[in-house]
Structure 1
């Protein structure tokens, strides 16, 4: 049987949105220079590994849709610069926690706009947002999360600051936010609602 090469697997993976060859789409090792199995780092100590734990958001008829609530303006500016409120680009390193970082970036941006930004505490904790999304979705022990679940967690419980729960890749990835952080620390950072 002929072995399929990396680029053939990658092409099939991209075209099928990761439905086939899923094990090859999750983790990349910089030292081996190839896509590897998620437990690759445990087998080879010191390898620099990055994960891409993306899950497609399932459709939910209860979602409030942005296009139904707001009209798109007919005249749009050619350029809009929102960088003054954006925080620094962060690195999730070898854990597929992009949902936590996306929720953290969005919440930090909003708090800067409202002048409530917790800058002295390092901003909002991506670890709390990510673990909260996994916990509320019922898959705390797995990698990858839905952004909708992160927003549900922010709406129901809130989040904490980076000083209260710093992001360390892989460490604390199966810890429930309600076990790690007191509810009164989460409460000030709740959101009122979200739209899709």
Structure 2
């Protein structure tokens, strides 16, 4: 369980860090561009996590190489993640003007966000009961988007503050990511 928490937290922090280092997307009616982008990516991850939990409950916890079911479950996760990556990228292109470089980075970002938590669910020794699987699924589906949106909202709030010039923009977002990583590592260690 601790490994799964670490994967979810690491994925959210990686997404936040990459969004912070990329050029800021233009504002939308839902708020700043980074907040809207984090929202779209978080929503794109949710069906992958839900589908992976269903695969996990149907096939059990298996590592690739132990049985043919392991490769089937891993292939199902990859196919689901690819479909959701394409759909999420289409939504991002509709919301923001994406250059070729930014489209390439965004595709890698969305694919990583979709596959990493799903793989964590797939290979974690979870509670095999339906109530345990439901609790894990609910925690993953709510935890990753909430963490992503909290980091995006914190960065947006910090950008509005009168911070010294050397720390404006990407540096303040990197500092936010590092501080959040320290807090999350502490919480996971306590757990």
Name the structure where helix makes up a greater proportion of residues. 2
Greater Rg over alpha carbons, structure:
1
Name the structure where strand makes up a greater proportion of residues. 1
Q: TM-score, normalised by structure 2?
A: 0.27
Q: TM-score, normalised by structure 1?
A: 0.27
